[in-house]
Structure 1
Amino acid sequence: MDFGPIMPSVPYIVKGIGVTIQIVAVSIALGFVLGIILSLFKISRIGILQWFGDAYTSVFRGTPLILQLFIIYYGLPQLIDYQISSFLAAVLAFGFNSGAYVSEIIRAGIEAVDKGQREAAMALGVPYGQMMKDIILPQAMKNILPALMNEFITLTKESALVSVIGVTDIMRRSYIVGGDHYSFLPPMLIAGVIYYIMVMGLTLLGKKFERRMKRSD
Structure 2
Amino acid sequence: MEAWLADFVNGFTKAFITGDRWKLYLKGLGTTLEITVIALVIGVVLGVLVAVIRTAHDQQRPGRCSPVLGILNFICKIYTTVIRGTPMMVQLLIWSGVIFATSRNFTMVGALGVGVNSGAYVAEIVRGGLMSVDVGQSEAGRSLGLGYLDTMRFIVIPQAFKNILPALGNEFITLFKDTSLVSAIGGAELIYYAKAVGTKTFDVMYPYIGIACMYLAVVMVLTWLQGKLERRLRQSDRR
TM-score range, shorter chain: over 0.9
Q: CA deviation at 1:15?
A: 2.0
Q: Tell me the TM-score normalized by structure 2.
A: 0.86
Distance in 1 between residues matched to 2:105 and 2:219, nearest whole Å:
27
Q: In structure 1, which of residues 151, 171, 174 is the aligned counterpart of residue 191 of structure 2?
A: 171
1:135 aligned onto 2:144: no
Q: Which residue of 2 aligns with 1:123?
A: 143
Q: CA deviation at 1:77?
A: 3.2
Q: Distance in 1 between matches of 2:16 and 2:146?
A: 61
The aligned amino acid for 1:135 is: I
What is the aligned counterpart of 1:56 among 73, 79, 82? Answer: 79
Distance in 1 between residues matched to 2:110 and 2:234, nearest whole Å: 35
Give 1:29 deviation, angstroms.
0.8
Whole-Å separation in 2 of the counterparts to 1:26 and 1:168: 15
Deviation at 1:91, TM superposition (A): 1.5
Task: Note the 1:191-202 alignment, pairs <5 A.
Answer: 191-202=211-222
Aligned to 2:37: 25
The one-letter code sitting in structure 2 at the alignment partner of 1:5 is: K
Percent identity between the two aligned chains:
39
Aligned residues: 214
CA distance in structure 2 between the partners assigned to 1:92 and 1:190 by the alignment: 27
Q: 2:22 aligns with which of 10, 17, 21?
A: 10
> Displacement, 1:25?
0.4
Q: Distance in 1 between matches of 2:171 and 2:118?
A: 8
Q: Deviations over 1:42-95 (max 9, x none)?
A: 1123211221111110000000101111111110135xxx42521221111011
Q: Equivalents in 1 of 2:40, 2:104: separation in Å?
A: 20
> Which residues in structure 2 correspond to 1:58-77 (within 5 Å)?
58-77=81-100
- Of structures 1 and 2, the larger Rg is shown by 2
Equivalent positions of 1:30-41 (< 5 A) are: 30-41=42-53
Aligned equivalent of 1:147, options 157, 167, 178: 167
Structure 2 residue identity aligned to 1:215: Q
Q: Distance in 1 between matches of 2:92 and 2:100?
A: 12
Letter in 2 for 1:7: F
CA contact (8 A) 2:89 2:181 kept: yes
1:10 positional shift: 2.5
What is the CA-CA distance between 1:14 and the residue it aligns to? Answer: 2.2
